[in-house]
């Protein structure tokens, strides 16, 4: 029992230290709070404020008001409720695609740089060829061949397309770490390739890797909303990309009173992206060991 209490106490102390480090950068901490708010509203919001199921003819294409804070769409439905219910797929795919992209890129880039020789040359040649392929046209082609209505399938495809650029960055970082004394010592002791890469080198890159993960999430948001907007991914009608596509199809670009049908989902995407990028500014404070020891 005492051991459990000690573990919980240590975890609470580390959590408190992390929060204090994050709060040093006000913009980054605000980004964290907004990110958590967007995630909570996207996952739990639809259960608290379910979207409207029927059209409201009297409220079609209305601007912001006390009744409808973000106006209404071409069906007279509240844009705010649709934004709340439309973020779930965006958030889940962004997290899955960003995580898978980062894992694949880190594994390939680190292995390539550490092994070197012909293995490094071969892997980097594959990366160079993959980087020349235009991503959005390839995604459009795949969307015509596959039914991309599953979040896992779309996340995997986005990760397979997006990883090469980050892999080259990881390779560059690993090449510099290979010259450090502790890596050379671990190599001489023959601790094993996997052990050296994942226990000795990558922990010293956690700030870079975490920030890269966040930016890969933002790339995934752009890619999936582009596919949804083009009608290539048949997700739910409340999805932010679907909201933009439907508003554009119903002539919102040419009707000033319908502008909020475009602005509401667009602002949600911008807010989520801005919060993620702002949060990235605080991560160096968390993963820099010199800063952690100062708290």
Query: Can you give the pLDDT of all 295 residues of the chain as single tens digits?
Result: 565 556 566 666 667 767 777 777 788 888 889 999 999 999 998 888 888 888 887 788 888 888 888 888 888 888 898 899 888 888 999 999 999 999 999 999 998 988 888 889 999 999 999 888 888 788 778 877 777 777 888 889 999 989 999 999 999 988 888 878 877 787 787 777 778 887 878 888 888 888 899 999 998 888 888 877 777 776 655 688 888 888 888 777 777 778 888 889 999 999 999 999 888 877 767 776 555 555 5
- Tokens 């909570």 correspond to what residue? 40
**How far apart are alpha carbons 240 and 41 in whole angstroms?**
14
> CA distances (Å), 89 to each of 1, 111, 284, in order?
41, 33, 29
Least Cα distance to 51 among 34, 29, 75, 20 occurs for 75
- What are the backbone angles phi and psi of residue 72, rounded to the nearest 5°? -130, 165
Contact 51/265 with Cβ under 8 angstroms? no
Q: Helix crossing, 259-280 with 206-229: angle to 10°? A: 170
First-to-last C-alpha distance (Å) of the chain? 29
**How far apart are alpha carbons 251 and 258 in whole angstroms?**
8
Least Cα distance to 93 among 4, 159, 36 occurs for 159
> CA distances (Å), 133 to each of 93, 183, 232, 271, in order?
22, 35, 19, 30
Q: Helix crossing, 26-43 with 2-24: angle to 10°? A: 120
**How far apart are alpha carbons 235 and 78 in whole angstroms?**
19
Contact 206/291 with Cβ under 8 angstroms? no
Cβ-count burial of 24 within 10 angstroms (0-12 exposed, 13-18 middle, 19+ buried)?
Answer: middle
How many CB atoms are closer than 10 A to CB 60? 16
**How far apart are alpha carbons 104 and 110 in whole angstroms?**
10
Beta bridge partners of 78: 72
How many CB atoms are closer than 10 A to CB 195? 12
Contacts of 141 (CB under 8 A, 6+ apart): none
For residue 138, the surrounding DSSP H or E stretch is helix 135-145
């Amino acid at each position: 029992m005492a051991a459990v209490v000690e573990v919980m106490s240590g975890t609470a102390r580390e959590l408190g230290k992390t929060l204090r480090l994050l709060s040093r950068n006000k913009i980054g901490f605000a980004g964290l709070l907004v990110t958590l708010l967007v995630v909570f509203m996207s996952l739990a919001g639809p259960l608290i404020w379910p979207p409207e199921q029927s059209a409201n003819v009297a409220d079609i294409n209305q601007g912001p008001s006390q009744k409808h804070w973000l106006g209404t769409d071409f069906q007279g439905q509240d844009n705010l409720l649709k934004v709340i219910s439309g973020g779930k797929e965006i958030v889940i795919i962004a997290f899955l695609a960003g995580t898978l992209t980062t894992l694949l890129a880190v594994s390939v880039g680190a292995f390539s740089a550490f092994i070197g020789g012909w293995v490094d040359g071969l892997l980097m040649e594959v990366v160079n060829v993959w980087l020349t392929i235009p991503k959005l046209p390839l995604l459009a082609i795949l969307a015509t061949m596959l039914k991309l209505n599953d979040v896992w399938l779309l996340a995997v495809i986005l990760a397979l397309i997006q990883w090469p650029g980050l892999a080259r960055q990881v390779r560059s970082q690993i090449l510099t770490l290979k010259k450090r004394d502790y890596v050379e010592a671990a190599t001489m002791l023959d601790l094993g390739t996997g052990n050296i890469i994942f226990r000795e080198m990558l922990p010293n890159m956690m700030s870079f890797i975490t920030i890269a993960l966040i930016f890969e999430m933002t790339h995934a948001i752009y890619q999936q909303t582009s596919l949804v907007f083009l009608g290539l991914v048949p997700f739910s009608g409340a999805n932010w990309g679907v909201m933009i596509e439907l508003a554009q199809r119903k002539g919102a670009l040419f009707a000033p009173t319908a502008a909020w049908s475009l602005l509401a989902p667009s602002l949600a995407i911008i807010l989520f992206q801005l919060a993620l990028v702002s949060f990235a500014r605080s991560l160096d404070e968390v993963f820099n060991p010199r800063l952690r020891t100062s708290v």
